[in-house]
C-alpha cells in the first residue's frame, strides 16, 4: 500500500489528490473568466472599429488574454495528467 501524501495548507490538511483537484477547480475558474474577458475585449474592439476609434490597445489586450488562456489550458492539461497518472 502506497503512503498517502498529506499537505498542510492554511491550517487544513489536504491529501495530494484533493490538492490537485483544488488546483483543477481553480484553473477551470481562471479559464472561464479568461474566456469571458476575451469575449468582452472582442466587443470593445468591434465598437472601437465601428466608431472609427483606434483599436490597437484593445487588440493588444486581446492577444495578451488569448496567450494567457493558452497557458492556463496547458496548465490544466498538466493537472489532469497528474490526476490520471497511476499512483506509485
Number of domains present in the structure of the chain:
1
By CB atoms closer than 10 A (0-12, 13-18, 19+), residue 72 is buried
pTM above 0.85, yes or no: no
Residues 73-78: what's their mean pLDDT?
97
pLDDT band at residue 31 using 50, 70 and 90 as cut-offs:
very high
User: Which residues, other chains included, contact 75 with Cβ-Cβ below 8 Å and sequence gap of 6+?
Assistant: 27
Cα–Cα distance for residue pair 49/37, rounded to 1 Å: 18
Give alpha helix (H) positions in 10-88. 16-51, 56-84
Which one has a higher pLDDT value, 14 or 21? 21
pLDDT band at residue 8 using 50, 70 and 90 as cut-offs:
low
Q: Is residue 7 part of a domain?
A: no
Q: Is residue 12 part of a domain?
A: no
User: Which residues, other chains included, contact 20 with Cβ-Cβ below 8 Å and sequence gap of 6+?
Assistant: 79, 82, 83
Print the domain residue range for 27: 21-84
Q: For the chain, what percent of residues have pLDDT higher than 70?
A: 82
Amino acid at each position: 500500500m502506497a503512503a498517502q501524501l498529506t499537505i498542510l495548507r492554511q491550517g487544513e490538511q489536504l491529501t495530494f489528490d484533493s490538492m490537485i483537484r483544488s488546483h483543477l477547480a481553480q484553473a477551470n475558474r481562471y479559464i472561464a473568466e479568461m474566456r469571458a474577458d476575451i469575449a468582452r475585449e472582442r466587443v470593445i474592439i468591434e465598437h472601437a472599429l465601428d466608431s472609427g476609434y483606434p483599436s490597437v490597445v484593445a487588440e493588444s489586450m486581446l492577444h495578451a488574454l488569448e496567450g494567457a488562456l493558452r497557458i492556463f489550458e496547458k496548465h490544466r492539461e498538466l493537472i489532469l495528467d497528474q490526476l490520471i497518472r497511476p499512483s506509485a
